[in-house]
Amino acid sequence: DHVALPEMYGEPFDRIHYSGAIAHEIAHAVMLHNLLTKHISQAPQEYLAHATQLAVLPPDRRKKIVQKMDVGPWEPGDA
């Protein structure tokens, strides 16, 4: 049997992506701690967490991922 290896953004989940995933979860924790009295929807939370995750990646890797995903910046009304 062939077991598929985990992926992140369509790439093998390596040490670099592991660091990014940790940053992603820390971003969620910081938001949760600081938004105890104000709720924001899931979309802005995920946007901030993924932006944090991508920010800790090496610049060349981050650029490659963003280009491959073919998405634009956050737009008003996205939430």
Per-residue pLDDT for the chain (79 aa), expressed as one digit of tens each? 788 889 999 999 999 999 999 999 999 999 988 887 778 888 889 989 999 999 999 999 999 998 898 877 777 777 6
Number of domains in the chain: 1
Q: In this structure, is residue 63 part of a structural domain?
A: yes
Q: Residues 74, 51, 38, CA angle at the centre, nearest 5°? A: 75
Residue-range definition of the domain harbouring residue 21? 7-69
Q: CA–CA separation, 36 vs 46, rounded Å?
A: 17
Q: What is the pLDDT of residue 79?
A: 65
Q: In this structure, is residue 32 part of a structural domain?
A: yes
Entry pTM: 0.81
